[in-house]
Amino acid sequence: MFGLGLGELVIVLLILVILFSRRLPDLGDSVGKGIRRFRKSLKESDEIDITPDDPASKERPAKKSS
């Protein structure tokens, strides 16, 4: 992977953790929320209501006089 060995990857990860340690809890929270939303969307049905609206129930818009 990009010519990096295990040692180099560990060093890069340590540097990232040191630099972004304050934001890691927020990042984890965001990732968790995203995973929960994704799972919830998988459980919901994909059905779309395509029944036409009743035209009698809608009022016609008033025409503008020019």
pLDDT tens column, 1-31 = 578 899 999 999 899 888 888 887 888 899 9
Residue 35 lies in a domain: yes
Residue 50 lies in a domain: no
Residue 31 lies in a domain: yes
For residue 2, is it left (φ>0), alpha (ψ between -120 and 50) or beta? left
Residue 58 lies in a domain: no
Which pair of tokens denotes residue 42? 């998988």
Residue 28 lies in a domain: yes
Helices (H), the chain: 6-19, 24-43
What's the CA gap between 11 and 17, in Å, rounded?
A: 10
Question: Domain containing 25: what range?
Answer: 6-40
pTM of the predicted model as reported, rounded to 2 decimal places: 0.43
Residue 59 lies in a domain: no
One-letter identity of residue 17: V
